[in-house]
Structure 1
Amino acid sequence: MGEKDTTEKILADYNDVFADIINGLVFKGEQKVTPESLENISTRSVYKGRKNKLHEQERDIVKLWKERDIEFAIYGMENQTLPEKYMPLRILGYDGATYRSQLQKKRKRPVAVLTIVLYFGTDKMWDKPTHLKDVIYIPEGLGEYVNDYKITVFNIAWLTEEEIARFKSDFKIVANFFVHKRKNKDYVSDDKTEIKHVDEVLKLLSTMTGDERYEEILAEKEKGEYNTMDTVAEHLVNMGEARLGKLINLLLQNNRIEDVKKASVDKEARKKFYKEFGIID
């Protein structure tokens, strides 16, 4: 969460990407939501806490879906890189605030609020509760009277090829990347699909993978066009080889012959040496 959520929002906040995610995941590929039918809504809401103090809560992305003067629904999108136990409580708070906001605006007929959670983890599928009743204590005898609340979580790295094929925007490239990354941690993309929002995709990948070289590519864009994942991957390989060469030279200068051998074959040892010499991995 934190920085990772903020980075992802940069890409998904584009209407073409947001609409594509909703169409691909919620409507199973039917093109019901168009980018032109989406309007931004404030992600901030205010509520009263203890001692009537006002508090702000902020969502990742919220958009109103409408055609002309007809409002259909309000979509919220939350991004997670780690499963979170109390996510149902968070989503309930967000959705409740959105419904309350509609009442304050005196809408004749409030519209449905739907929040989806995009989970980008690759080590394991979402394994935390998706129902409110699973995270709260319910005294005996009250179970049938306490309302439940279910959240919808999409495990992006576990999407099938058929599901990925439903996407039309840059999110297809992102989803494909995470699926392959789950299957092979050393995955090198050969995707030749042109990226529309290059900066946002590379920033997302940099934050989600912890590989700062994606950010470095952004600074080098004037030296070459890296607008497909295969060209990005090729550049990453070249950068990796250059760093390894620099590391080996430094080790040789310090007469660390055994460490040269380790750096050549042991990935974890190589990371340790990179950190020791201040070389960004």
Structure 2
Amino acid sequence: MGMADTVTKEYIRSNEVFADAFNYLIYDGEQVVKPALLQELDTTEIAIPFALGENENQTEDVVQKYRDVLKSAVIMQDSRASYILLGVENQTEIHYAMPVRNIIYDALQYGKQVSEVAKRHKSKGDRKGHNKGEYLSGFYKEDRIRPVITLVVHFGADEWDGPLSLYEMMDLEDKKLLEFVQDYRIFLIDPYKLANNDLEKFSTSLGDVLGYIKYSKDKKALSKFLNDNQVMIMDNDAARVIRDVTNTPIYVPDGKGEIDMCKAVRDMIDESKQEGMAAGELNKAKKMALKMYKKGDSIEEIAEMAEVSVDQVKEWINSAV
């Protein structure tokens, strides 16, 4: 896993940022998913579908995958609680088989839930069920599983041009056949497609991070974005995402804390200008030194006049030979 993948995963793991992403996706920015009601789960998806079947000693192949982040959520609407699982997949690069990848994650999670229900029945000693169908599956008629929603967050400046559904990955024009082929679409947050009014719907630094990424390849647009914000206070995890994803050479302190992203970028630009000016002055000194050397002046005299070391003058002379 690259550094950019590591920092985006750590960033999105924050309950506040995680909730913000789903509130944008599902509720248009309304604060419905509460960070305090999120609980992180094991991201290892293991499924042995219906392993507790008629033959207790049967073995089946274990299927195992690793999500980026998975959390259980309690969503309150009209005094009713919905218990749901929310998963996020971070992509710094476009994945052209994302619909298949996501359907595998979701299917494994549903299989895992069914297996866990069957195990609970067995541990309680009520494994026989009420009928043969319940006995064979280990899943009873009144049992329920929790729905899973997987969100893809694209941390890249280029437009996501990958397929958004299984249908888009297929070359099947027969509509009659398509009626019998299950489609599966991905839910995607792509900076390229976010308008300014979309970015304003985020309540955490996620909006600023996605906005910076969106404009990172257009210096004029990025400058306007930063000037419009003037002050952009964000936590260090968010700043690291911007630094590593966009290759912006800003200084971000280790550990937790906050940073003014606008100021950090301005300081970086000022430092770059100063370095450029210094390089220009040094180049003038080099030209003068070489002219003096051709006239026969001593290296010591040249170094004193150019205000550099004797070794520097020697290096210039040797490189010019």
Does the Cα contact within 8 Å between 1:91 and 1:115 map onto a contact in 2?
Answer: yes
- Residue 316 of structure 2 is matched in structure 1 by none
- Residue 276 of structure 1 is matched in structure 2 by none
Within-5 A mapping of 1:44-59: 44-46=44-46, 54=62, 56-59=64-67
- Residue 259 of structure 1 is matched in structure 2 by none
- Residue 165 of structure 1 is matched in structure 2 by 200
Which of 209, 233, 236 pairs up with 1:195?
233
1:207 aligns with 2:244: yes
TM-score (norm 2): 0.65
CA distance in 1, matches of 2:100, 2:4: 21
Which of 103, 107, 110 pairs up with 2:145?
110
Does the Cα contact within 8 Å between 1:20 and 1:169 map onto a contact in 2?
Answer: yes
- Considering only CA atoms, is the larger Rg found in Structure 1 or Structure 2? 2
CA distance in 2, matches of 1:54, 1:249: 66
Gaps of 5+ in 2: 49-59, 121-142, 288-321
Residue 91 of structure 1, CA deviation: 0.7
Residues 253/32 of structure 1: CA separation in 2 closer, same or farther (3 Å cut):
same
Which of 94, 110, 116 pairs up with 2:105?
94
Which of 128, 135, 139 pairs up with 2:169?
135
- Residue 150 of structure 1 is matched in structure 2 by 185
CA distance in 2, matches of 1:82, 1:43: 21
Residue 81 of structure 1, CA deviation: 2.6
Within-5 A mapping of 1:58-97: 58-66=66-74, 71-97=82-108
CA distance in 2, matches of 1:17, 1:101: 27
CA distance in 1, matches of 2:156, 2:75: 35
Residues 70/28 of structure 1: CA separation in 2 closer, same or farther (3 Å cut):
closer
Does the Cα contact within 8 Å between 1:11 and 1:17 map onto a contact in 2?
Answer: yes
Residue 179 of structure 1, CA deviation: 3.3
Residue 136 of structure 1, CA deviation: 4.7
Does the Cα contact within 8 Å between 2:153 and 2:188 map onto a contact in 1?
Answer: yes
Q: CA RMSD in A?
A: 3.3
CA distance in 2, matches of 1:102, 1:65: 15
The secondary structure found in structure 2 opposite 1:166 is: coil
> Which deviations, in whole Å up to 9, do the C-alpha atoms of 1:9-58 show, x marking residues without a partner?
1111111111111112321022111111111011122368xxx7656422
* Aligned pairs, number: 245
The secondary structure found in structure 2 opposite 1:77 is: strand
Does the Cα contact within 8 Å between 1:5 and 1:60 map onto a contact in 2?
Answer: no
- Residue 229 of structure 1 is matched in structure 2 by 261
Moved over 4 A (4+): 52-55, 67-71, 136-142, 245-255
- Residue 4 of structure 2 is matched in structure 1 by 4
Does the Cα contact within 8 Å between 1:62 and 1:75 map onto a contact in 2?
Answer: yes
Residue 235 of structure 1, CA deviation: 1.5
Residues 53/246 of structure 1: CA separation in 2 closer, same or farther (3 Å cut):
farther
Residues 53/233 of structure 1: CA separation in 2 closer, same or farther (3 Å cut):
same
- Residue 18 of structure 2 is matched in structure 1 by 18
Gaps of 5+ in 1: 256-281
CA distance in 2, matches of 1:146, 1:160: 34
Does the Cα contact within 8 Å between 2:90 and 2:153 map onto a contact in 1?
Answer: yes
Does the Cα contact within 8 Å between 1:6 and 1:60 map onto a contact in 2?
Answer: no
Residue 236 of structure 1, CA deviation: 1.2
Residue 245 of structure 1, CA deviation: 4.2
The percent identity for this pair of structures is 25
TM-score (norm 1): 0.74
CA distance in 2, matches of 1:252, 1:95: 64
Paired amino acid for 2:74:
K
